[in-house]
Amino acid sequence: MSRDLLLVALPYASVAIFLAGTIWRFRSARTISSQSSQFLERRWLAWGTIPFHFGIFVVLADHLVPLVAPDMWRVLVSKPWGLLAVESLGAGGAMLALLGLTILLLRRLGTGVVRASSSFGDIAVVVLLIAQAALGFAVASLHRWGSVWSVGTTVPYLRSLLAFNPDVTYVAGVPPLMQWHLAGAWIILALLPFTRLVHMLTFPLGYLFRRPQKVVWTT
Amino acid sequence: MVKLDVRAQVSMVFHLDKCIGCHTCSLACKNLWTERPGAEYMWWNNVETKPGTGYPSNWEDQDRWQGGWSVGQAPSPVLRSQGKLTGLLKLFYNANQPGLDDYYEPWTYRYSDLFDAPQGDVQPSAAPISQITGKPIDIKRGPNWDDDLGGSPLYAENDPNLASLTEDERKSLFEVERMTMMYLPRICNHCTNPACVAACPSGALYKRGEDGIVLVNQDACRGWRACVAACPYKKVFYNWKTGKSEKCILCYPRLETGQPPACFHSCVGRIRYMGVILYDASRIAEVANAPVEKLIDLQRSMLLDPNDPVVIAAAEENGVSAQLLAAAKQSPVWKFVREWELALPLHPEYRTLPMLFYVPPLVPVMGHREEGLYTRAGDRESIFNAIDEARLPVKYLASLFSAGDPEPVKAALRKLMAVRWHRRSLEFKTIDPQQILADAGLTVEQANAIYRLTALSTLEERFVLPPLQREEALSTFGDTAAEDCRQSCGLGRTM
Ligand code: HEM
Ligand code: SF4
């Protein structure tokens, strides 16, 4: 019962909150921003934000590709070089992200002007991301070759959730650490629209396609 | 002939010969717009002492900031700060942005200290506290720290424009007896080819079609700050509290009700002029991409004569209102920039085609040659020689106002001199102004008109503006994402 709560109710609740929250947040876009603090402090920021963002994208790709294309993934990790590439990219990305996040947290708490201009949420998201990345890193190093065993467990489970036909038996045997890592993801997703993390939804791809100048008439 | 694409722009002239450096404009603006958390450090209007490094410190050093445009493959220039793809990469971290140490940490005073201090032998004083942290701070720098050449070795000598001078010229500029300075009031130039607009990844910045005012849509801004890096004048500011960028709005709520902007209205020296300028938008790309020595002439030629029937017809066709057209005919800006060619854009080499023009200053009076004794510059030879021998070298002014070419600046200074001598000749009959005027390229009528608009003009002559009537538009804050270029959009290409 409590397992269903964690593995079925939480994901759906999280996605629902994420969707509703995003719509609510974008109803007035006045508060949506990267909330950059580069203006206040830039040296440590560079050392934190660049490895973090770069690392997190690699890690996210490592998580999303098997979900989207499980068959291709299975073939990939069945080859030794593929497995090695995937695992070392993931580990490298995670380490970069963790390193970056640690610097970001220390900077946020340790720089007077940045600390003073931080909201509770600004600090909380960094702490949450550190916890989540550390959990993921622990799973990967304590239970080796996650990119292989996840193909038969978390991947089909997550796909069953996506297909609105949840089947928790896939993940019945995954390590508890992994369960926490899953729960962490849902919590972060649910909080996303209500924190600064919302900035990742506004990636301005349109810039590639627009004219440089913009002239607007209202009369 | 290519068809004209006439647009109207509310444009500006600052007459530097009249600026007394009192900062009243800056304070009017500050009180009205930037007395808010996150905006304390913003000076949408500021007045700099030149030579000096300005605000933010060294804003003219484009090697560091990469502001403005550089010549690109015809027909359009390219942004210096970013391309399309690098723009997206720079979202994560942008090394070309100024920070707190290039501005200053805003502070106030803990005035309660004055009241709460226990009785004692010494007067209590109010401790300075940071407006960001609320904690006591050790003030290291502030706005106008180098006002009137204060701290010259730290500031004035680092002025990038001094690079145009020789070692000797630079030295003599800072000898006490010859020390000289000028004031440079600055607001957003509401450029015709704004780098800020082109750089915004979110498309939050835009130029209003009716009047050319450049604004940041606060709902679309995501705080990526590409505009701050791209604006070579550093006139977009990042609000650290709201996480959005802000800039001078040319007091559009005032303009829309027929009042001049606060900095214009409050100007003690009456140096500011505002009027409607018509220009040919189809030429923006070509002009902005021109070789540097042609920039001044081409930008001038892009401005259209409001009395030319062809221009009027094209303007009407483009929906320029009758009131705007009428105002364009009375425009003091047209007179200063085109009729008299007295006013020049600041740093035209940044290629944003600014719509704020400056009449270069004639002060201080010449005559340093005779060991502190002024020579009586009686004949016209020495009148115009005096320009070359001015304490503030023409080369320096040219570095500011004409991309290094001394001729446009000299021509303007000669006219200013001639107008002075013409006035003097009315009192002292021994002076014959005819030849002086002819040498400067002015008629008596023009000299009188320049004198009148410079020295005697009323509020209505300085600010010739119809109410912009945008308040009658369905929605002032309508969908600014929906762009509508009418005919040409300036730089037409997407990449
Ligand atoms: C989609 C593309 C993304 C872009 C363009 C982007 C851009 C930015 C920018 C400009 C900042 C502000 C940095 C500064 O202070 O100047 C930022 C901060 C941050 N971003 Fe992203 N980001 C993206 C994706 C992500 C993702 C996927 C995550 C996490 C899963 C993330 C997490 C964060 C966090 C936690 C901060 C705050 C760092 C701090 O404490 O200062 N971002 N991002
Ligand atoms: S001066 Fe104003 S319009 Fe021109 S680039 Fe800077 S902010 Fe934009």
| CB-defined site of ligand 2, < 6 Å | B 188-191, 194-196, 214, 231, 233, 235-236, 247, 352
The closest alpha carbon to B360, from B400, B407, B388, belongs to B400
Region A132-151 average pLDDT: 92
Phi, psi for B261 (deg, rounded to 5):
-55, 155
The one-letter code for the residue type at A72 is M
Sequence-distant (6+) residues with CB within 8 A of B235 are B44, B186, B187, B188, B189, B196, B247, B248
Q: What are the tokens at B389? A: 């021998």
Interface contact A213-B194, CB threshold 8 A: yes
The closest alpha carbon to B287, from B300, B275, B274, belongs to B300
Starting from the CA of residue A97, give the closest ligand: 1
What's the pLDDT score for residue B372? 52
**Is the pLDDT score of B100 beyond 80?**
yes
CA distance B45 to chain A (A): 20
Mean pLDDT score of chain B, rounded to an integer? 89
Q: What are the tokens at A26? A: 């974008």
- pLDDT grade for B484, boundaries at 50, 70 and 90: low
**Is the pLDDT score of B483 beyond 70?**
no
**Is the pLDDT score of B385 beyond 80?**
no
| Atom 3 in ligand 2: residue holding the nearest Cα | B190
Note the pLDDT tens digit of each residue in A50-61: 999 999 999 999
- Least confident window among A26-30, A214-218, B360-364, B366-370: B366-370
Pocket test for ligand 1, best of A101, A200, A207 (most atoms within 8 A of CB): A200
**Is the pLDDT score of B235 beyond 90?**
yes
Query: How many beta-carbon pairs under 8 angstroms link A with B?
Result: 174
- pLDDT grade for B494, boundaries at 50, 70 and 90: very low
- Least confident window among B213-222, B254-263, B481-490: B481-490
* Domain residue ranges in chain B: 321-462
Note the pLDDT tens digit of each residue in B135-147: 999 998 888 888 9
What's the pLDDT score for residue A47? 97
Complex-level ipTM beyond the 0.95 threshold: no
Q: For residue B406, is the peptide bond before it cis, meaning its omega torsion is within 30 degrees of 0? A: no
Pocket test for ligand 1, best of B86, B92, B96 (most atoms within 8 A of CB): B92
d(CA B311, CA B4): 7
What's the pLDDT score for residue B370? 52
**Is the pLDDT score of B367 beyond 60?**
no
Beta bridge partners of B108: B129
Residue among B79, B99, B483 minimizing CB distance to A38: B99
Question: The pTM is what?
Answer: 0.93
What's the pLDDT score for residue B387? 81
Token pair 């030879």: residue:
B381
**Is the pLDDT score of B493 beyond 90?**
no
- pLDDT grade for B495, boundaries at 50, 70 and 90: very low
Note the pLDDT tens digit of each residue in A38-93: 999 999 999 999 999 999 999 999 999 999 999 999 999 999 999 999 999 999 99
Contact A39, B240 (CB under 8 A): yes
Region B227-245 average pLDDT: 97
Q: How many CB atoms lie within 10 A of CB B390?
A: 21
d(CA A156, CA A130): 26
Share of chain A above pLDDT 90, in %: 89
